[in-house]
Structure 1
């Protein structure tokens, strides 16, 4: 398969960075096929930022920060917008299934690409277990004749087959999953907004305008510090925004797809996150018992008067869970594929079927996912809790690596192929450094909070082990070297 990015540079003998100085793990000469259509990429870009965490995790954030949770979402949203802009700059220049892992390989060294690639893979295979269990709980409530573990097995098996058939089948499933999420959130915002101002026909709820934002102890009932507490609670619900940059390598026009996704991330976060949470805290007092007992969205729909609000939300959450499972399996397998192509994983991971599917990478990823599901049922408070905590801060590590890679990749791209720089980070390098500071601050602040300290420490331990393994491996194999010209020219 030849993508547009494969024609960006003349080929020359492989120097360890791919043909023509291309990033390691780029897909031009791999076996992946352009099976994702524009509508698939568009919906993945729009719906990819909406995870199940938005629906089920927002209640605790509201309890911790009150209406000020809006500022928490705005701060994290701003950080994600900046990170996505940096990633978009690199991905538009050279789309790759390895995305930020491949760019870290080129910009920071093989140890960085190896380490962040495997940590990211580990994060998503643990997520597979979490989401499979969450979906199984909902399905067992509807059909208790099948045990929870049976439902978890069924949903994992179905989505594994979907990913094995072709990338187009993944895209089709994700198109409809994401479409349902987008429609549900959009309808909730419109109907809830009308109810807030008392103009929703047939509804007795709402009608108080903005009074609930300030009437119960003020906009910040627990003080300004609660904004940071809220940040810790909502930051991980944004993970997944970067998936579109991995998927772009399997589209017919990856550069256009990445540019479009990067440019639209601002309104997506503003509408789906800030818009929907605003409706909740405007409709109900932040300290309402209903928010904690039923969940923020169910409580808001009950307030509006939507019948069977709980079951409606269960359908929406199940859709979000299936979408996350589908995307997580795709993402983990493509990262494994890219690692295999760069020699950082077994070579079999980089082999594809006649349909352009990395079958071994998919099966290996889902095998670990099944194992994690089993751990969740067998030892939920020991082994699985360890897996959960040791992957808890990986999202922040990924964002930090994206920032550090972009600092160097800008110079490499300008020197080698300046025409590829079709997406540019704003106010470079000042906003890049500011984002690095924001992410570092969140990590340090997590260490001061008892609820998140263990996640950071275990995640740092996991990262340290992988980095040591990468450095030892590179020393033994003699593959840790990096282009000396790049090193001398890029002073970061």
Structure 2
């Protein structure tokens, strides 16, 4: 069930299995992998592989915990709903609005990135016009039947997957010395420039902070699956496959990058990770190919971001944590007002970027710095409390987090440690303080809105 009562507005349950599968794959492959990974490589050197492995393990465990709760109670509000039930209404309110805030700021970020790519090819048209056009088109796709959104995202994700697989094939051939267009081969770059860990283990931990935001979006499976016919089956399947996707799309592709080019090569940041490697390997049309793939990636992220933000505010509305108007759905089961509200917030962010370049929007974006970790922390705490309640009431679980409660506690302590490091690190302190500031404001609002409301535990009531 995606709703809390039979009288609640209902979302369409029309996403197909293949669409949900590709949406969840797309959620874990963002433009950050194609471009942003250069910053992570610069930070940790070849040992960035350890950074990605540690981050991937953390995300995998968090996804397992989220999957355990989502199989019991599929809900478009996902972890926000579970936090409200397990911790208290204030927690569901706070994390739900924080998540919405994160994604409505990501919407203009992706639109601006896509607009800059198009502007480079069509300089006579201003970048802001492209940004508006991209947001308008993808807002329209989100206002259509959710099947149409799913179809757009299916093809977006498929292009990204094909691009990464092609890169892995070319890179593997080059490593083994059989790529005909270049004499670059072997894996000596892994250790020839200052060793495998040139900047020390502290840099590996700093790399975790850079890479963790590339993975954010994997949790979309618990939101999208709630609009499919068999949500429990989709959630179990997608959660089990997360570790393989991380290994293939991140670890293997980045391994090939740091094997074929030096980690400190300035070309990685100047051109972007994948584009630079392909240019070194003399792949014809490298720039155009990567520009197309990155454009698709940012459109995919924008498309998903608008979908996620609208579903979250819809869910908040059904729990009276957002205006009731947000729960209005069309005859096709699309939360029209929630989509439009989230889109308008994205347009405001885009306007701030172009009207006050380098000022207001940069400040707003900095407020999202620690939100991913806060979301993961809330998921872990919710699972800890929810699992304990279910075991106390003798309710069987179909899909379990392993080694409970020890692994759950490990994740909680690890996330708190990373947040602590962010507070003390000069590189991350500013963003962390801003994130905590926004969290405090929303937290105060949550107590005002929910102070007279008692926590309910529908997962117990349903059993």
Instruction: Give 1:132's aligned residue.
Output: 111
Task: Give deviations 1:119-168, integer Å, cap 9, x for gaps.
Answer: 00000000001001001000111112221110000000000110101110
Structure 2 unaligned residues grouped into runs of 5+: none
SS of equivalent residue, structure 1 residue 450: coil
Equivalent runs, 1:300-379 vs 2, <5 Å: 300-379=277-356
Distance verdict in 2 for CA 1:484–1:355, change over 3 Å: closer
Q: Work out the number of aligned pairs and report it.
A: 460
Contact 1:197 1:206 in 2 (8 A): no
2-side partners of 1:48 and 1:153: how far apart?
Answer: 23
1:431 and 2:404 aligned: no
2-side partners of 1:198 and 1:456: how far apart?
Answer: 45
2-side partners of 1:446 and 1:213: how far apart?
Answer: 28
1:294 and 2:264 aligned: no
1:440 and 2:416 aligned: yes
Residue in structure 1 matching 2:440, options 451, 461, 464 = 464
| TM-aligned CA deviation for residue 482 of structure 1 | 2.5
Task: Give deviations 1:416-466, integer Å, cap 9, x for gaps.
Answer: 6835x2211011110111001111111111122222111100100110111
| TM-aligned CA deviation for residue 234 of structure 1 | 1.2
Distance verdict in 2 for CA 1:485–1:68, change over 3 Å: closer
Residue in structure 2 matching 1:205, options 183, 191, 201 = 183
Distance verdict in 2 for CA 1:34–1:415, change over 3 Å: farther
1-side partners of 2:121 and 2:309: how far apart?
Answer: 30
Instruction: Give 1:110's aligned residue.
Output: 89
1:32 and 2:5 aligned: no
Instruction: Give 1:391's aligned residue.
Output: 368
Equivalent runs, 1:94-243 vs 2, <5 Å: 94-200=73-179, 202-208=180-186, 210-243=187-220
Instruction: Give 1:24's aligned residue.
Output: none
SS of equivalent residue, structure 2 residue 427: helix
SS of equivalent residue, structure 2 residue 28: coil
2-side partners of 1:324 and 1:235: how far apart?
Answer: 16
| TM-aligned CA deviation for residue 415 of structure 1 | 5.5
Distance verdict in 2 for CA 1:268–1:195, change over 3 Å: same
SS of equivalent residue, structure 2 residue 268: helix
**Structure 1 stretch displaced more, 285-294 or 393-402:** 285-294
Structure 1 unaligned residues grouped into runs of 5+: 7-17, 20-26, 488-492
Q: CA RMSD in A?
A: 1.9
Contact 2:85 2:458 in 1 (8 A): no
Q: What TM-score do you get using the length of structure 2 for normalisation?
A: 0.96
Contact 1:65 1:226 in 2 (8 A): yes
Distance verdict in 2 for CA 1:28–1:483, change over 3 Å: closer
SS of equivalent residue, structure 1 residue 97: coil
Contact 1:76 1:235 in 2 (8 A): yes
| TM-aligned CA deviation for residue 48 of structure 1 | 1.4
**Structure 1 stretch displaced more, 43-52 or 337-346:** 43-52
1-side partners of 2:8 and 2:361: how far apart?
Answer: 38
Task: Give deviations 1:206-262, integer Å, cap 9, x for gaps.
Answer: 222x21111111001111111012112111111100011101111010000100110
Q: What TM-score do you get using the length of structure 1 for normalisation?
A: 0.90
1:453 and 2:429 aligned: yes
2-side partners of 1:412 and 1:427: how far apart?
Answer: 17
1:246 and 2:246 aligned: no
2-side partners of 1:277 and 1:65: how far apart?
Answer: 12
2-side partners of 1:47 and 1:117: how far apart?
Answer: 22
2-side partners of 1:485 and 1:102: how far apart?
Answer: 10
| TM-aligned CA deviation for residue 29 of structure 1 | 4.8
Task: Give deviations 1:23-81, integer Å, cap 9, x for gaps.
Answer: xxxx9953111110000011112221001111111111111211011111111111000
SS of equivalent residue, structure 1 residue 418: coil
Instruction: Give 2:247's aligned residue.
Output: 270
